[in-house]
Structure 1
Amino acid sequence: MDSWYIIRRAAWITGHYRLLWPFGFLVVLIGGAVAYPQVFLLVLRWSLPIDGAAASPSLPQHSSTLAAVLALLAWLGVAAIASYLSEGAMVRMVGEIERSGSTSIEQGVRAGWGCLRAVVRIALLSGLPVGIVLAQCSAPAALSLLWPSPEASALTEIICSLWPMVALVTLPLAAAMNLPYEFILRRCLLEGRPAGAAIREGPRMVRRNLRRAAPLWVTLLGAGLAAGLLLTLLNLLGLFAIIRMASTLWAASHSLAAAALAALPCFLLLVVAFSFLHGLYLVFYSAAWTVAYHAVAESEEAPARLPRLVLLRA
């Protein structure tokens, strides 16, 4: 399995099949909310009382807190569905491109919706170690919801501040789980295997082809880090330019509202551009692993070469 050929092939698919772009854009713009559980904790902290006088239970207070929590949970649910649907659609569409050379958005939507349950099961089961770590770090936040008090609010703030440390633990764990997850997902979606069977067969497939798959995994990991650093730098530069423009307008007009309204279109444009570039990378990443899976599957299905028979004359 030639890693550079796979990368070139994935880049060609990403550039020529623009029907894949909306799914990558959707993952970043909507489904990316699943990757930020600290937003839930921050909003939960803001909805809690911060002084002893306001800490007494009251029905409106509990109602507003419950409404905020339910709204956030609903948004996270919609974002998760959009993310998993788009991920399954990209895998199926690239698989169809590799088989027949053509695909369509309708096929992608139908394929993504049809394999949604399988993708969710695989994501839940294969991401269980990371989920356990996140759950252990997030569970104390439930105290803030059950017993609103200044102490609970302070506890929520501490939990929010510890998320960078949690990331140091979960990121290596998630990186180690990434390679089996990609093969498990494609074993299920491209071969039609049940989720449980794919979870058993995917890691075995990785072990048999680890020497061929590991260089691609390292290459894509490095490319992801480089792309993330580049996009983050561009995003920070854009934010700095927008803040500089808003501060200049504020100093000239002495109106914070006018400066914010003037900077809002630029901020939205920056968000859309950042999401678009990130979505393109996700399309490329998904296509690379789908092409790699096809190469590995074809090599395993190819019949072994028969030994040459040498006929000796009597």
Structure 2
Amino acid sequence: MSKKAFIFPGQGSQFAGMGKDLADNFKKAALVFEEADDALNFKLSRLCFDGPEEDLRLTANTQPAILTASIAALRVLEEETSLKADFMAGHSLGEYSALVAAGAIKFADAVRTVRARGTFMQEAVPVGVGSMAAILGVEPEVLAEICSEAAQGEVVAPANFNSPGQIVIAGNSGAVNRAIEIAKGKGFRKAMLLPVSAPFHCALMIPAGERLAGVLEPVVVSPLTVPVVTNVEASANSDAGRVKELLVRQVSAPVKWDASVGAMIAAGVDKFVEIGPGKVLAGLVKRIDKSIATSNVQDQESLRALIQEGL
């Protein structure tokens, strides 16, 4: 029996204009942007549609913006097709979109929460103190040794296991820079700093997680209609009682995207639909397993292409 997964993008997929095509042409999408504007008391919709890019890149804006564009696309997909998912998953921030899609968290609660999450993650580490880098072609065990050698009393650790041979590290800027040099010295030439504003998914984010726990406390978590494969455990969770704990841990724990996709494939998923801006995750799925079918929904054109596939 063929199974499908809906996957939702995280930070880095944003662009000015995202969601506008759907909001202009589908009432369901326009209502999602209106709900976000009301929940946040500012015109997030204008920022998504018109930019400027530098404001959209601010973490406290990026996170609710991508969530909103993703849920707008989901609502249109739900209205225009009968496609159903057997699993939901999202990359980092995208896990909130997955939880909204699974009926666990109301959209307005999620958009307010990720606005706070972005603020807390940015404030946890002053600009310039932390950074992230991609190391390509390296095995996890070798990278662990590189990070251990580079730390020298500071923090540096794997933050995103994206696909085989693509791992992102995060930590104090000095330690991250040392890790890049050590990696290059070992022959891993493709080791480069990433243009991000904070070192996400490492121990430096623990204070952000503690503050996030306070924001999540009053949020109602409903029973999940579809299991969500979590970043922290790379396994399916259907227990509403564990959702908040996993979201708090997620802020400072590495994103196990490679293993999450692997777990869904092992459970029978042979089709992944990326919902929201960009095609980053669909690309990662293909790197993990070339035989798996992928699609994305972010505008009318991609929606039409999905419908034409006869799904």
Fold-level match, TM-score > 0.5? no
More strand by share: 2
TM-score normalised by L of structure 1:
0.24
Higher Cα Rg, which structure = 1
More helix by share: 1
